[in-house]
Amino acid sequence: MSERPRNDDPDPTAPEQNDGPEPSDAFDDLVDAETNRDPDLAVIEAGSRTLRAQAGPPQGDAVPARPADPEVDRALREVEAELAGRWGETKLDPSVQRIVALLDILGAPHRAYPSIHITGTNGKTSTARMIEALLGAFELRTGRYTSPHVQSVTERISLDGAPISAERFIDTYRDIAPYVEMVDSQQEYRLSFFEVLTAMAYAAFADAPVDVAVVEVGMGGTWDATNVIDGDVAVITPISLDHTDRLGETPEQIAGEKSGIIKKDATVVLAQQPVDAAAVMLKRAVEVDATVAREGMEFGVLSREVAVGGQMLTLRGLGGEYPEVFLPLYGAHQAHNAAVALAAVEAFFGVGSDHARTLDIDTIRSAFAAVSSPGRMEVVRRSPTVVLDAAHNPAGAQAAAEAVTEAFGFSRLVGVVGTSEGKDVRGVLEAFEPIFAEVVVTRNSSERAMDADELAAIAVEVFGAERVQVEPRLDDALEAAITLAEEEGEFSGAGVLVTGSVITVGEARLLMGRG
């Protein structure tokens, strides 16, 4: 492992965002002072926790650009290529045998810190980012592991609210690579891409060291590579149909797999669920003597109002009410994610079981106000407005359709849709049909991307031929959609929504100059 912890500051080479007003001179001075700070001085000044308390909860876009240093970029590409040579995330052997063997050799880094484990179908990453922000605001050093990434693989492993640097990512990989090869030689199948990344995350968190890890499953729960941890808090976001070939064809079957993250004596935070799925998870909780907190019962959203740049919430936590909480994310689904995140953090601190009290309201407000979730109802351009959302299943698409309608009220909305093979594409398109005036179907660069013509054939059945345009290249699709929106005139209120896949959104984000 690395010889001593390093602070991973946001990449100073990342492009500036110009959507908002120009910062004041005073703010520029503060940024310059912190950016140019001698990193060794941070250690002398009582360590990173004190500095975090001064700086407040994590800020910024949290999507890193490619390394500016050509040598670092070359080394990162080598690591990415080696990882890509392994089984991808959709090719699985449902077992934790290999990851257990690797972590045993590494000295069980995943046992070095408590954790909050998150599964579900939709909302996992946004919820993880909110939990991370809340914990950071209470001066805990956090490690966050999420998937998939929007633009850079380094996004998946974060410390203190920011992706680890490319250098640290490379070093962590090189530290564990000999042990990965050792396990590879002893197992029937080599460790997969996701298994190696999971081990890297757990090792990086132990190296830091973190006070708490926030870990999102890759798929399912029981046999997911992340499920070697015993989460003090198990979070289950809303369950719907996705990955049915792996997890089951009903919410009940999927819940059976996902409830595998519920461990003995843990606290389970349940988002609103289908009745049959909830029954499975409650049964699992009883079997392992876990405590359950249910949205709509022990916690929830008391009220929400659309506000400029997001929404204003009153949340009911496990310890009481939290009024006037601003969340800079759009949609009712994000309000519910916020309630789940708050309950998870309360449970981690023992609120609702050991004692009944609310957490400091100003700290809660500050943390939620700083939350970002790239690629989730994210505005990347104005005039016309271009919004990105990574919805890739019918439930996610329905939530996105409701959110964009509520938050933006476009006079005309053009969709850009690029999906992956094996998804319920028709269900996604049907969710968007009522709000899209036209749809431009395309494909991203992934090998798993659905062919644009195949997607178009389904889109024609849903929308009618006159509302469907095919542009196999994503850049052409974006240009076509923007042109269609601009036909309404500069002040028409038309917009563009890019959706269908995290990969599509990530590539669109790059094309739109974010990253």
User: Please, what is the Cα angle at 188 between 185 and 190, to 5 degrees?
Assistant: 60
pLDDT given for residue 94 in this prediction: 75
Three-state secondary structure call for residue 131: helix
pLDDT given for residue 46 in this prediction: 31
Three-state secondary structure call for residue 246: helix
Give the tens place of pLDDT for each residue, 224-243.
999 999 999 999 999 875 55
CA dist., res. 355 & res. 365, Å (int): 22
The confidence band for 216, taking pLDDT boundaries of 50, 70 and 90, is very high
Q: Which residue has the tokens 């992340």?
A: 226
Beta bridge partners of 301: 315
How many CB atoms are located within 10 Å of the residue 493 CB? 15
Q: Which of 438, 483, 482, 480 is nearest to 459 (CA)?
A: 438
Q: What share of the chain is helix, strand, coil (3-state, %, to 5)?
A: 45, 15, 40
The confidence band for 423, taking pLDDT boundaries of 50, 70 and 90, is confident
Segment 103-130 mean pLDDT: 95
Fold held by 75-370: UDP-N-acetylmuramoyl-L-alanine:D-glutamate ligase (3.40.1190)
Listed range (68-72, 91-95, 113-117) with the worst mean pLDDT? 91-95
pLDDT(492) > 70: no
How many CB atoms are located within 10 Å of the residue 352 CB? 20
Q: Which of 237, 242, 247, 244 is nearest to 269 (CA)?
A: 237
How many CB atoms are located within 10 Å of the residue 14 CB? 17
pLDDT given for residue 392 in this prediction: 87
Beta bridge partners of 162: 159
The percentage of the chain sitting over the pLDDT mark of 70, rounded to a whole number, equals 83
pLDDT given for residue 256 in this prediction: 86
Give me 100's structure tokens.
């257990």
Domains of the chain, by residue range, sit at 75-370, 378-513
Q: What phi and psi, each to the nearest 5 degrees, are found at residue 394? A: -60, -40
The confidence band for 436, taking pLDDT boundaries of 50, 70 and 90, is very high
pLDDT given for residue 34 in this prediction: 34
The confidence band for 513, taking pLDDT boundaries of 50, 70 and 90, is confident
CA dist., res. 474 & res. 73, Å (int): 25
For residues 290 and 365, the answer to whether their CB atoms sit within 8 Å is no
pLDDT given for residue 226 in this prediction: 96
Give the tens place of pLDDT for each residue, 156-178.
999 999 999 999 999 999 999 99
CA dist., res. 467 & res. 463, Å (int): 6
> What is residue 420's DSSP assignment?
B
pLDDT(467) > 60: yes
Cβ-based burial of 190 (10 A; exposed 0-12, middle 13-18, buried ≥19):
middle
Q: Which helix (H) or strand (E) holds 347?
A: helix 332-348
Segment 296-322 mean pLDDT: 95
Beta bridge partners of 145: 157, 215
The confidence band for 150, taking pLDDT boundaries of 50, 70 and 90, is confident
Listed range (113-122, 348-357, 360-369, 413-422) with the worst mean pLDDT? 348-357
- Three-state secondary structure of 277-334: HHHHHHHHHHHCCCEEEEECCCEEEEEEEEECCEEEEEEECCCCEEEEEEECCCCHHH
Q: Which of 297, 294, 234 is nearest to 266 (CA)?
A: 234
Give the tens place of pLDDT for each residue, 139-149.
999 999 998 88
Give the tens place of pLDDT for each residue, 12-25.
334 334 443 343 44
Three-state secondary structure call for residue 237: coil
Q: Which carries the bigger pLDDT value, residue 451 or residue 274?
A: 451
Q: Is 320 left (phi over 0), alpha (psi -120 to 50) or beta?
A: left
CA dist., res. 130 & res. 334, Å (int): 10
- Largest alpha-carbon pair distance within the chain? 66
List of residues 6+ apart from 390 with CB closer than 8 A: 150, 375, 376, 396, 499, 501, 502, 504, 505
How many CA atoms, within 13 angstroms, populate the side-chain half-sphere of residue 34? 16
pLDDT given for residue 357 in this prediction: 82
Give me 427's structure tokens.
């269900």
* Pairing between β-strand 212-216 and β-strand 162-163 as defined by DSSP bridges: unpaired
CATH architecture of 378-513: Alpha-Beta Complex (3.90)
pLDDT(183) > 80: yes
pLDDT given for residue 221 in this prediction: 82
Segment 370-398 mean pLDDT: 92
pLDDT given for residue 149 in this prediction: 87
Q: Which of 148, 144, 340, 388 is nearest to 238 (CA)?
A: 340
pLDDT given for residue 242 in this prediction: 56
pLDDT(87) > 60: yes
Three-state secondary structure call for residue 416: strand
Q: Which residue has the tokens 């132990």?
A: 206
**Whole-model pTM?**
0.84
Q: Which of 273, 260, 170, 158 is nearest to 217 (CA)?
A: 260
For residues 312 and 326, the answer to whether their CB atoms sit within 8 Å is yes
Segment 29-53 mean pLDDT: 33
* Pairing between β-strand 321-327 and β-strand 310-316 as defined by DSSP bridges: antiparallel
Residues listed for the chain: 515
CA dist., res. 192 & res. 178, Å (int): 15
pLDDT(111) > 80: yes
Q: What is the mean pLDDT of the chain?
A: 85
Q: Which amino acid is at 204?
A: A
